[in-house]
């Protein structure tokens, strides 16, 4: 090979490397939760999710046996309610969130490594809600939802644009395969003009901000808090099979990066 040709190839490689390094976000880890405490959840960041009226929340409980922090893992459980006779719920589920304690904002990436166990009616979820705006106007970011024993996960956004107005363009969600027998890493990158979703570092879909005269299309440019919960039953996932319970969700870690 002639020297001039060799030098030309070197320059091409250097230019390509320069372009790649400029277009790829440089992430810095700014917070992580490894669940390595010996005395349970860290109350600086986490609270137990209380009971509510929505499908996802109508079995939530602070019953201690629904939660465990052991061997560097958070364990959330869904059980048959044969332990709290004064509670009318047929099932009990555990969930935690960072509401009023820790928030995630634009130019950030949130990652969660979790293992999901199967049961009929199981609906584990990792998601985000706005710090200071009501639903659905403030938006909802579903980093992961899984139904029953599926080998796929749902990643979705909700807002007044998608929910109240029912507009599905741009597409508000996608599904992608997971390993149903092991841990998977679920992630979202938050920008002022888009949300990008990943499973096991593979890009699954992007929800963009678009030009529209409809209100509420992109309410995702303000602080959100994180929810992790082991849900049971509801109109979407269907009926619960008591014989499949208890069911668990294991969380290895949560990480938050900024550019």
Could you tell me which residues come within 8 angstroms of residue 85 by beta carbon, excluding any fewer than 6 positions away?
A: none
Cβ-count burial 85-104 (b if 16+ within 10 Å, e if not): eeeeeebbbbbbbbeeebbb
Output the average pLDDT for the chain. Answer: 92
Is 7 part of any domain? no
DSSP 158: E
Is 1 part of any domain? no
Alpha carbon distance 259, 254 (integer Å): 17
How large is the C-alpha radius of gyration of the chain? 21
Tens of pLDDT, residues 23-76: 456 999 999 999 998 889 999 999 999 999 999 999 999 999 999 999 999 999
Alpha-carbon dihedral of residues 78, 81, 245, 115, nearest 10 degrees? Answer: 10
- Return the residue matching tokens 């599905």: 168
* pLDDT exceeds 90 at position 224: yes
How far from the centroid of its chain's Cα atoms is residue 76's Cα?
A: 15
Tens of pLDDT, residues 87-114: 999 999 999 999 999 999 999 999 999 9
* pLDDT exceeds 80 at position 14: no
Is 85 part of any domain? yes
Cα atoms in the Cβ-side hemisphere of radius 13 Å centred on 215: 5
State pTM to two decimals.
Answer: 0.90
Is 5 part of any domain? no
Is 247 part of any domain? yes
Q: What is the pLDDT of residue 25?
A: 63
Tens of pLDDT, residues 107-147: 999 999 999 999 999 999 999 999 999 999 999 999 999 99
CA distance to 110, 112, 252, per residue, from 255 (Å): 6, 6, 10
Task: Classify 66 as helix, strand or coil.
Answer: helix
Q: What is the pLDDT of residue 38?
A: 84
Alpha carbon distance 149, 123 (integer Å): 9
Kindly state the tokens that stand for 246.
Answer: 């208890």
Q: What percent of the chain has pLDDT over 70?
A: 90
* pLDDT exceeds 50 at position 11: no
Which residue range forms the structural domain that includes residue 153? 28-258
Q: What is the pLDDT of residue 13?
A: 43
* pLDDT exceeds 80 at position 19: no
The mean pLDDT value for 194-218 works out to 97
Q: How many domains does the chain have?
A: 1
Is 36 part of any domain? yes
Contact 105, 201 (CB under 8 A): no
Is 17 part of any domain? no
The mean pLDDT value for 146-156 works out to 98
Could you tell me which residues come within 8 angstroms of residue 150 by beta carbon, excluding any fewer than 6 positions away?
A: 180
* pLDDT exceeds 60 at position 16: no
* pLDDT exceeds 70 at position 21: no
Is 8 part of any domain? no
Kindly state the tokens that stand for 177.
Answer: 């395969």
Q: What is the CATH number of the domain that holds 92?
A: 2.60.120.200
């Amino acid at each position: 090979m002639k020297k001039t040709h060799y030098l030309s190839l070197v320059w091409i490689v250097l230019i390509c490397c320069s372009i790649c390094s400029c277009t790829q976000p440089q992430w810095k880890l700014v917070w992580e939760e490894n669940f390595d405490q010996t005395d349970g959840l860290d109350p600086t960041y986490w609270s137990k999710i209380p009971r509510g009226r929505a499908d996802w929340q109508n079995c939530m409980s602070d019953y201690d046996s629904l939660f465990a922090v052991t061997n560097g893992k958070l364990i959330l459980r869904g059980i048959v309610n044969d332990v709290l006779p004064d509670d009318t719920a047929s099932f009990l589920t555990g969930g935690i969130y960072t509401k009023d304690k820790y928030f995630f904002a634009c130019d950030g990436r949130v990652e969660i490594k979790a293992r999901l166990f199967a049961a009929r009616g199981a609906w584990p979820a990792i998601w985000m809600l706005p710090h200071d705006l009501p639903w659905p106007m403030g938006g909802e970011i579903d980093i992961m939802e899984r139904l029953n024993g599926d080998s796929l996960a749902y990643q979705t956004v909700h807002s007044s644009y998608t929910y109240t107005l029912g507009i599905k363009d741009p597409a508000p969600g996608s599904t992608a395969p997971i390993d149903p027998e092991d841990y998977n890493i679920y992630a979202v990158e938050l920008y002022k003009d888009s949300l990008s979703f990943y499973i096991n570092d593979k890009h699954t879909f992007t929800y963009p901000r678009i030009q529209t005269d409809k209100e509420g299309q992109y309410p995702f440019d303000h602080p959100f808090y994180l929810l992790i919960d082991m849900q049971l039953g509801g109109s979407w996932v269907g009926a619960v099979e008591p014989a499949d319970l208890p069911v668990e969700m294991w969380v290895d870690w949560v990480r938050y990066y900024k550019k």
